[in-house]
Amino acid sequence: MVESFSMEFTLETTTNLTIDIKDVTGKTLKQLFNGKASQGLNHFSFNKSNLAAGTYFLVITNNLTIIKNEKIIINN
């Protein structure tokens, strides 16, 4: 079983952003990153083994703007 989840996203400028794991109700379960990301192509991965079976969303935001919203389904 693959224990990690990876994704790529592109930023037009260097910016501060957050990457959160949210449940289907929109509640933040864990903040994975909060900091500055570079302009251009960015790669992000995390270990999903600590998540119970279910549906989650990896949400990347810059202030209140959603840059990317990726659905993650965990089958244990």
Predicted confidence at residue 4, as pLDDT, reads: 86
Predicted confidence at residue 30, as pLDDT, reads: 94
Predicted confidence at residue 2, as pLDDT, reads: 62
If phi over 0 gives left and psi between -120 and 50 gives alpha, with beta otherwise, what is residue 63?
A: left
Predicted confidence at residue 32, as pLDDT, reads: 93
3-class DSSP assignment, residue 25: coil
- CATH fit for domain 4-74, picks 2.60.40.3110, 1.10.3210.10, 3.10.440.10, 3.90.330.10: 2.60.40.3110
Per-residue pLDDT of the chain (76 residues; tens, 9 = 90+): 568 889 899 999 999 999 999 999 999 999 999 999 999 999 989 888 888 999 999 999 998 788 889 899 888 7
